Amino acid sequence: MSISGVGSRNTYIYNTRTGKLSAKDGQQDAFVDYFNGDISGDEDDTLNGFDRARKADINHLIEDWKKFDRSIFNDPEKEEYEITTEIVDAATSTVQVDGDKIITRYSGCLFAYIDPSELFQKAGPFQTREHKDYDPSDNSVSIAVGDVFDLGNGYRLRVGEDEVYCEGYGNKNGEKDERVQALAWGLGALIHFSEGRWSSLMLEFGYRGSSDVLGGTTPMLLELLRQLGVDTDREFILNGTKCEVRGGKIHEVGDKWGVPGAVRDEALRKYDEEMSRPLSSWK
């Protein structure tokens, strides 16, 4: 059998009478022997952490999931079913029965292999240096250092090296000044998010001088993006990151973890390395 890893997709035959797996092609398969208890995990160096997780997924389906979904493995006319497993990424896998997806598993161990301080990294300078006007072909725009946005009310926002500045502040209009300062803070947070440095959750906090630190800046940010031409009712691309609006909040498309993209990608890389190790070394 091939060594399991991201992208692996395997189909087996499960016999409900014997409780055993067999390879669909009838060939000898180390994972089948491992699942059936004929060998231990450290007896074959082709078996790794992904195989241990696949075994747990199938056992969960057989022993636990069928208690809640009585439609599976319940056909009186048959005792053999196809079980297909797929490793979507290092921390995501699916299990199907006769072609129907039953469960999707997300590993809770994903972030165990990175330094916890990385989850709260400092943003640092903005990374996007080249402005790109709105492109309707892919609903994209880039916001870069040096960009200036005239808000049309006596204020403008200027993207500096590591924060967004509000210019025109100090006109003794406390409420308006605070809203513009909040928008400046939120735009900076949005840029950091789009560059993979901050979580989208940061957009739900007001700036440090706000009277309502949990007020959130998303509505103002969405309005600003619309003024730039972005259609926020569908997927859009900001500084190379695919985004979407769900429940009135801006998220990265496909993000399941709610952490900065750069941190997630590094965690996935390290977790993939760990899961790829042979089970014989898991001692």
Strand 140-142 and strand 236-238: the pairing is parallel
Beta-carbon contacts of residue 270 (< 8 Å; ≥ 6 apart): 113, 114
Which uninterrupted H or E stretch holds 273? helix 261-275
Which tens digits make up the pLDDT trace of 75-128? 888 999 999 999 999 999 999 999 887 889 888 788 888 777 666 556 789 999
Q: For 13-32, how does the pLDDT look when each residue is reduced to its tens digit (9 = 90+)?
A: 999 999 999 998 878 899 99
Q: What is the pLDDT of residue 214?
A: 42
| Residue 227, phi-psi category: left (phi > 0), alpha (psi -120 to 50), beta (remainder) | alpha
Cβ-based neighbour number of residue 246 at 10 Å: 11
Helices within 141-215 (DSSP H only) = 174-194
- C-alpha distances out from residue 205 to 48, 108, 249, Å: 42, 26, 12
Inter-residue contact 135 to 141 (CB < 8 Å): yes
| pLDDT tens-place string over residues 229-259 | 999 999 999 999 999 999 899 999 988 887 8
Cα(157)–Cα(135) distance, rounded to whole angstroms? 22
- pLDDT, tens only, 201-223: 888 765 544 444 445 688 999 99
pLDDT of 253: 93
Q: What's the mean per-residue pLDDT of the chain?
A: 87
- Residue 38, burial from CB neighbour count under 10 angstroms (0-12, 13-18, 19+): exposed
Q: What integer is the mean pLDDT of 44-70?
A: 88
At 66 the pLDDT is 72
Which pLDDT belongs to residue 119? 62
CA-wise closest residue to 200 among 224, 225, 178, 221:
221
